[in-house]
Amino acid sequence: MKRILVTGSQGYLGSVLTEMLADSGYDCIGYDTGFFRNCQLYPAVTTQTVSRDARHITEEDLRGVDVVVHLAGISNDPMGTLDAGAVYDPTRVYTRKIAEQCKKLGVRFIFASSCSVYGIGGDELLTEASPTNPQTFYSLNKQQIEDDLKSLSDKGFSPIALRFATVFGSSPRIRFDVVINMLAGMALADGKIVMNSDGKAWRPNLHIQDACESIKRAIELDHQSGELMVINVGSDENNLQIIDIAQTIQRLVPGCELKFLSEEPELDKEGLIRDRKVKQAGKDTRTYRVSFEKIKEVFPGFRTNWNVERGVKEMIDRLRGAGLDHETFKYRGFYRLQQLEHLLDQGCLSNDLFWLKDEPASR
């Protein structure tokens, strides 16, 4: 039985992945610092978890492990008084450190990267060989980590970087700060969808179950090329403009209105909907469509099982079953940036994002 160590196991993706891997017969152990451990919409399945910051993972933690799946990282751009270096430099440092430890011990390494490294594309579908053009500190960080993994690769170490499309779908630790989840949550909780841009930007999208399946395939892959393997994860049919996604959700939630934040800024008094990376004019400079041909070649028989419409229908049913209302939808724990800012404001975290004291009880 393969032993899999998942960093960031109590995050949005990790909460679903660890359950899937355990159900698939893997000996799965999670490591997580716990920023979002209490941010649950519905109960998460309990899996073996070590409460530890990824910066503190040692060789001893990795002994006996076959594969590390590295999800841990900051999922939003810098908050409040913290600059990009304070947020992302440690992420890059500890990722390289863990990768170096894996290389020394003969442990395989799978990194959760992002299609956002493409940033701005033209009319063509972008492949793994296309130039990257990161537009945010988050996507730049992903690119830098890929570069580090490439430099570490040799005949004894062949890591994999999975460039995920924008993930959506149900998770116990739901994120409402990713586009499809946010739009679906708004529609149900408030009866209206508020767009934080003009919606003309293109995005590739990926259901969370398909993301987990791709990780499972990467675990099973016998990759020993001596080079970093980069794989776009998603499907061509889920390359969509955000306005089209919004209109699909509007159709699935009868009576839902479609509004634009640029026209009615008072609709986001809490500052949860506004994307700090969207320009004042309401246009999002990040727009790209991605090719997903390579993944079908590398993982024979792989295909995504969830298109956007099917995934949204399932999520709407799950959110209704969880009793989603306005107060729950606005809960800061479902917005990564706001949760971290809250922990900083409460004195729970230091400026370098280490725990100083436990989070006070809420909700």
Would you say 255 and 191 are in contact if contact means Cβ atoms under 8 Å apart? yes
Closest CA to 298 of 203, 161, 166, 204: 161
pLDDT at 271 over 80: no
Other Cβ atoms closer than 10 A to 3: 15
Closest CA to 361 of 334, 342, 341: 342
Looking at residues 288-309, what average pLDDT do you find?
A: 96
Residue with tokens 């739009």: 183
What pLDDT score does 70 carry?
98
**184 vs 4: CA distance, rounded Å:** 33
Name the pTM for this structure: 0.94
**How distant, in Å, are the alpha carbons of 55, 166, 259 from that of 97?**
8, 27, 46
pLDDT band with cut points at 50, 70 and 90 for residue 272: low
Other Cβ atoms closer than 10 A to 1: 8
Other Cβ atoms closer than 10 A to 341: 19
pLDDT at 280 over 50: no
Looking at residues 306-310, what average pLDDT do you find?
A: 97
Task: Classify strands 202-207 and 239-241 as parallel, antiparallel or unpaired.
Answer: antiparallel
Looking at residues 247-270, what average pLDDT do you find?
A: 87
What pLDDT score does 222 carry?
94
Would you say 204 and 234 are in contact if contact means Cβ atoms under 8 Å apart? yes
233-244 residue pLDDT tens: 999 999 999 999
pLDDT at 278 over 70: no
**259 vs 249: CA distance, rounded Å:** 13
146-174 residue pLDDT tens: 999 999 999 999 999 999 999 999 999 99
What pLDDT score does 120 carry?
87
pLDDT band with cut points at 50, 70 and 90 for residue 274: low
pLDDT at 248 over 90: yes
**156 vs 355: CA distance, rounded Å:** 36
**80 vs 32: CA distance, rounded Å:** 23
57-100 residue pLDDT tens: 999 999 999 999 999 998 766 666 677 877 888 999 999 999 99
Residues paired with 257 in a beta bridge: 192
In the chain, the domains with their CATH numbers are 3-175+205-237+287-306+336-345 (3.40.50.720)
Q: For residues 74, 207, 145 and 236, what is the CA-based torsion angle, rounded to 10 degrees?
A: -140
Rg (CA), the chain: 20
What pLDDT score does 77 carry?
67
